[in-house]
Structure formats: C-alpha cells, structure tokens
C-alpha cells in the first residue's frame, strides 16, 4: 500500500484479563480522534474505565460502539483460545476510502469498490503470565501490580494516540459526508507481524459476518 500513514503504539505487556479493556479503550480513542465526518457533529462522552484508573472518550455512534466492543472481545479470545501460541498478537486498525472499479466480470469476486487505505494504527500486545503464590496476600499483591502496570501502559498509549493523531493530519482525505468517522476495518495477527487471523470489516452499513478464526501453527 502506498502513501499509508502508519502509527505503531508502544507494546502492551498485559495480563490476559486486561487485554479486552485495554484494546477497547485504545480503539475508542483512535476512532474519536478520526470522527470528523460532515453529516453531523459528534458528541463523544467521557467514560470511566471498568478496570483501570483512567477516563477515556467514547463515540456517540451506537453502531460503532457495538462493533468496537465485539472486536475487543474477539481480540482477547485470540489469547484465551491459545491461537496466539507465543502469547503475542497485534491488532491493526485501518482507515480507508473507496472508489469504484472499472466494470469487469472480476468485480463479482472482489467487489465493485476498491479500498484505499490511508492510515493504520498497530497495537502490539504480549500476555504476561499471572504468577500464583501459596500465600493469598501475595496473590492479591501480584494482581494489584499487574493492574497498576496495565493502567499505566494504557495511559501512555492514549497519550501516544492523541499526540500522533493531532500532529498528523495532512494525509487525511476530505471528511466523510454520510457518517461520523472514516470507513475502517480491523485485522488481527497472532505473531505480531503478518499472518491475518480475523478481518473484521466496518463499512457504511456497519454489518459484517463474523468469520471463523482459523488455527495457526
């Protein structure tokens, strides 16, 4: 892909129980930063995190919120179902525009519209194993330390996202006129690099059949 602005968030080292909430917060923050559509002003709302000591902004687009929630859950399941056998995976959020392809019989297979990606956000995640101790007090201390670490990492990721999103705007196409945010899709990879696990597409209809996640050796 040519002329794609790429942003790689700092790697998140999290306990498995923190992955869903961390990804949810980052996805919502990126989407709010790129919700500059012309059809109506958005009214993002401040939300207190369910797990971390921080507040973040959510879009007021109900369909977007539902899809992001679904994506965060599916990404956490990559680890829960041991698809990321190395304990490492990456989420990629891509913003794109579309243009009509020239009429061809191949359009039946590939579709009549061509996606032109102009921005990508990469979120690498490594799951930290939870160490168990014989002393219950030590277990509680371990859990508290992991939660504090996760909260700090997510806060740093939010500063990264907001800073980069505000600093890099020259590459953005004209704001969409029919929806609040640019069209986007989310893909997962189990090795943190290439092989796509689950494409989760978001178009103007905000509807996508959830695909079965294949086993990756």
Q: What is the separation of C-alpha 59 from the centre of its chain, rounded to a whole number of angstroms? A: 14
CA distances from 36 to 33, 41, 45 (A): 8, 8, 15
Amino acid 194: pLDDT: 52
What pLDDT shows up at residue 199?
A: 46
Is residue 96 over pLDDT 90?
yes
DSSP per-residue letters across 150-208: HHHHHHHHHHHHHHHHHH--TTPPSPPSSSSS-EEEEEEESSSSS-B---EEE-TT---
DSSP classification of residue 175: P
The predicted pLDDT at position 217 comes to 31
Task: Give per-residue pLDDT as tens, 4-50.
Answer: 999 999 999 999 999 999 999 999 999 999 987 666 667 889 999 99
Average pLDDT over residues 126-140: 83
**Mean local confidence (pLDDT), 72-98:** 88
* pTM beyond cutoff 0.95: no
Q: Of 58, 54, 60, which Cα lies nearest the Cα of 24?
A: 58
Q: Which residues 6+ apart lie within 8 Å of 209 measured at CB?
A: none
Q: What is the predicted pLDDT for the residue at 59?
A: 84
Distance of CA 171 to the CA centre of its chain: 20
Beta bridge partners of 126: 13, 88
Specify the 3-state DSSP secondary structure of 89: strand
The rounded distance, in Å, linking the Cα atoms of 134 and 131 is 10
């Amino acid at each position: 892909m040519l002329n794609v602005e790429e942003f790689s968030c700092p790697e998140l080292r999290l306990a498995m129980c923190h992955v869903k909430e961390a990804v949810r917060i980052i996805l919502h923050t990126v989407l709010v930063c790129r919700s500059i559509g012309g059809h109506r002003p958005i009214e993002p709302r401040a939300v207190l995190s369910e797990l971390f000591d921080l507040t973040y902004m959510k879009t007021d687009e109900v369909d977007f919120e539902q899809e992001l929630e679904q994506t965060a859950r599916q990404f956490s399941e990559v680890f829960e179902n041991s698809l990321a056998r190395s304990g490492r995976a990456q989420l990629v959020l891509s913003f794109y525009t579309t243009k009509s392809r020239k009429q061809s019989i191949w359009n039946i297979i590939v579709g009549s519209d061509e996606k032109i990606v102009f921005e990508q956000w990469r979120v690498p995640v490594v799951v930290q194993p939870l160490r168990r101790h014989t002393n219950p007090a030590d277990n509680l201390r371990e859990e508290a330390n992991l939660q504090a670490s996760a909260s700090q990492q997510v806060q740093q990721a939010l500063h990264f996202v907001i800073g980069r999103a505000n600093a890099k705007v020259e590459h953005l196409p004209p704001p969409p006129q029919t929806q609040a945010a640019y069209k986007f899709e989310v893909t997962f990879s189990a090795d943190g690099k290439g092989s796509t696990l689950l494409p989760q597409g978001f178009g103007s209809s905000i509807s996508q059949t959830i695909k079965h996640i294949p086993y990756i050796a």
